[in-house]
Amino acid sequence: MISLSNIARAFVGLGVIACTACVALAPRSDASEASQAFYTVTGEIALSRHEPRVAALEYAAAAENDRDVGLLQRATEVTVECLQPSLTVAVASRWIEVDPGSVDAHRAVGRAALDLHRIEQSAAHYRAVLRTSPRGTEAEFAALETELAAADNVYGVRQLADRLAVYFPASAAALRMQAYAALRADDPAAAVHSFNAALARSAGPPAGAAGVADKTGGAREAGAADEAGDVGHGGGTSETSEASGASGGTPRAADDVSEVVLAGAQEATRRELTQGLLRARILSGDVDGPLAQAKAAADQGDAESRLDYALLLLAAQQSSGARAQLVALTKDREAAPAALRLLGLIEFQEGRIDEAAAHFAQLGTTGKFLDDALYYLGLIAERHEDLERALRFYAQVQNGENAVPALLRAASILRAHGAAPEAEELLDRLVEEEPQRAPEILASRARIYSEAGDGPQAAALLEVATLQYPDSVELRYATASLAEEQGKVSDALRELKAVAKERPSDPAALNAYGYTLADHKRRLGSARRLIEQAYASAPKNAAILDSFGWVLYRQGHDEQALAYLNAAYADDRGGDIAAHLGEVLWQLGRQAEAERIWSEANRADAGNALLKATRLRLHASN
């Protein structure tokens, strides 16, 4: 981690201007005196010192008035690497001024603008990429879908996908991306529409004619075919077709093989889209038809179809049926690892941690999903207060999405049990080794300090972190959360209001601000309007449903609140939602139901502070 003193020394040693939080490329007073080489050298020095903000500012200064495409590309790469999207937008826009046709420059602005939730700007630049990419429109859409599938801003991705689908209405890949984006953004009804459209488009011409569509550019932007020219080639020319061109003809055997491969790819695509459609229909409330269709396929004995059916049963909240399917699949050598992983997750989420441990232990013997197994075995050991065993499991998690959370859990254990220096060393190393996840790690580090009772250190860390990563919304949420915990509710609300103002179409930002207002019984009318806006964009999101129920409860509409809270709890049985649902049930005179909900949630989320506090408060008032 970068300490405040290290940042101060960097500013002096590298001659960086005092206002390091400034993100615009405003003229610098020393720009005429310093060579571009000075800025690039000092930028590289800052990179070697793990000082991302300094490095990005230095390269941005180098790029400010330069026309060297190589320098502009490197400056863009550095700002991206250093997680400075505002600087990326400015630098890559300069690159576009110099080289308007650069696909990479447009792509960089598109992604950075998305990170900032500037959806129109992002869409405009991705539109340019999709129109001019030498890979072709469909191939570029497929690559973009893969890239954005891991993006944290799922609501921004959905809004971007909607705009691109309008720009490219004939593109099956655009509709597919739109469908999956809507599904991830908790709007399954919209996903159903897009999946149906994508399936209709993906039917396409017969296999033997498919190559014709590729060679004429793939899907074209509506109204822009003439303007776009013949730049789309669906991924380029194969070695086979090049060789055929040289000999003046296409061998029939090669043609047959190509058609078989293409037909197989089309079938796999349709199967994946169909599974997505069935899931979206179930999440929209249309359960029976999709489950019957999936069961009919599963009954034919294909392991993949049975696994698909189990996943759809889980989406329909029929965990017992899903469990039965998965248990049967554990006897299939190929399907067993995935089945054991899902069984472990089901049991863990439902609070049956010993059963979960058995599944994860068995999963560990298969050699697949090993990091997942180790991480959850660590969590289970923590639940049993076997901290030494938990640390051993966490230390073995090497890769995947749980690698960073495992080390954060290890650091939390170390700090809470008298090994603060070791925890600090681990956290320092983690930021250096995972720089692309630095804001997440720093926010978690502040949480560790706060949970250990060191609020001032947490606040100091977040203050420095937001100077290093001023565009990180995650750090801003962490700052607001800490302020709220410390009783500085006005400060928390001020921060959340600013985020919502900067991201007015982001349901997450609207919900965070609206919920916090409601929770503290402030401006309930405004809180409800904010949450209603969020709900309109993500009607199936558990956190937003919880917020909607909570603001209705705060306004005295207990029965209305209950419907939203029940829907939230059906999707997410975490302690916070259980606390809210139980409180409303309690106030309605249904104390036995409240107790059942609380006990159920306590098994799955035993350490939840809100759940504990709510139960104590209501028991004391009875």
pLDDT at 7: 25
Strands, E, within 35-79: which ranges? none
Model confidence at 82, in pLDDT bands (50, 70, 90)? very high
According to the model, what pLDDT value does residue 257 have? Answer: 54
pLDDT of residue 258: 54
State residue 23's pLDDT score. 37
Per-residue pLDDT at 306 exceeds 80: yes
Q: Which of 301, 300, 298 is nearest to 313 (CA)?
A: 298
Residue 404's pLDDT is what?
Answer: 93
With a pLDDT cut of 90, the percent of the chain lying above it is: 74
**Which pLDDT belongs to residue 388?**
93
DSSP conformational letter for 316: T
Confidence of residue 497 (pLDDT cuts 50, 70, 90): very high
- pLDDT higher at 23 or 203: 203
| Residue 600 exposed, middle or buried by CB count within 10 Å (0-12, 13-18, 19+) | middle
DSSP E strands, 320-363: none
- Which of 31-35, 62-66, 177-181, 207-211 has the highest mean predicted lDDT (pLDDT)? 177-181
pLDDT at 29: 45
**pLDDT tens per residue across span 90-133:** 999 999 999 999 999 999 999 999 999 999 999 999 999 999 99
DSSP state of 209: G
155-189 per-position pLDDT tens digit: 999 999 999 999 999 999 999 999 999 999 999 99
pLDDT at 586 over 50: yes
* Cβ atoms of residues 55 and 82 within 8 Å: yes
How far, CA to CA in Å, does 361 sit from each of 137, 220, 322, 357, 498? 45, 51, 20, 6, 46
Least confident segment among 32-36, 43-47, 284-288, 483-487: 32-36
How far is residue 281 CA from its own chain's centroid? Answer: 22
Interatomic CA distance for residues 142 and 252, integer angstroms: 29
Mean of pLDDT values over 443-468 = 94
Within 8 A by CB and 6+ apart from 413, the residues are: 382, 387, 390, 391
CA distance 373 to 342: 11
Angle at 538 between CA 532 and CA 539, to 5 degrees: 70
Using pLDDT thresholds of 50, 70 and 90, give the confidence band for residue 240. Answer: very low
Stretch 129-143: mean pLDDT, rounded? 93
First to last CA, the chain: 48
Which are the contacts of 222, defined by CB distance < 8 A and separation ≥ 6? 167, 168, 169, 170
Q: Mean pLDDT over residues 42-47, rounded?
A: 92
Please, which pLDDT band fits residue 10 given cuts at 50, 70 and 90?
Answer: very low
The DSSP result for 104-117, as a single string, is HHHHHHHHHHHHTT
18-34 pLDDT, tens digit each: 333 333 344 444 444 45
Distance CA 513, CA 165 (A): 30
Dihedral angle, C-alpha 525, 528, 530, 535, nearest 10 °: -160
d(CA 133, CA 147): 16
From the list 47, 54, 65, 50, the residue with the least C-alpha distance to 13 is: 54
Q: In the predicted model, what is the mean pLDDT of residues 315-334? A: 93
**Measured distance CA(9)–CA(16) in Å, rounded:** 10
Q: How confident is the model at residue 260 (pLDDT cuts 50, 70, 90)?
A: low
Q: Per-residue pLDDT averaged across 260-280, rounded?
A: 81
Output the CA–CA distances (angstroms, integers) from residue 272 to 155, 180, 219, 576, in the order listed: 22, 11, 20, 34
Predicted confidence at residue 253, as pLDDT, reads: 53
Distance CA 569, CA 581 (A): 8
Helix, strand, coil abundance in the chain, percent, nearest 5: 75, 0, 25
pLDDT of 361 over the 60 cut: yes
Contacts of 332 (CB under 8 A, 6+ apart): 303, 339
DSSP-assigned letters across all residues of 427-489: HHHHHHH-GGGHHHHHHHHHHHHHHTT-HHHHHHHHHHHHHH-TT-HHHHHHHHHHHHHTT-H
The confidence score (pLDDT) of residue 416 equals: 87
Would the pLDDT of 254 be above 80?
no
- Residue 243's CB is within 10 A of a number of other CB atoms, namely 12
Q: What is the DSSP letter of 27?
A: P
- For residue 3, the one-letter residue type is S
Query: pTM (2 decimals)?
Result: 0.82
pLDDT average, residue stretch 206-225:
35
Q: For the chain, give every domain's residue range.
A: 401-486
Confidence band for 473, pLDDT divided at 50, 70 and 90: very high
* 213 against 313, higher pLDDT: 313
Per-residue pLDDT at 204 exceeds 70: no
CATH of range 401-486; options 3.40.50, 3.10.20, 1.25.40, 3.30.420: 1.25.40
Mean pLDDT on 253-260: 54
What is the token pair recorded at 179? Answer: 């469908």
Query: Residue 17 — pLDDT band, cuts 50, 70, 90?
Result: very low
Mean pLDDT of the residues in the chain: 85
Among candidate residues 341, 189, 406, the one with its CA nearest the CA of residue 280: 189
Q: Are 111 and 122 in contact (CB under 8 A)?
A: yes
> Average pLDDT in the 411-427 region?
91
- pLDDT of 58 reads 94
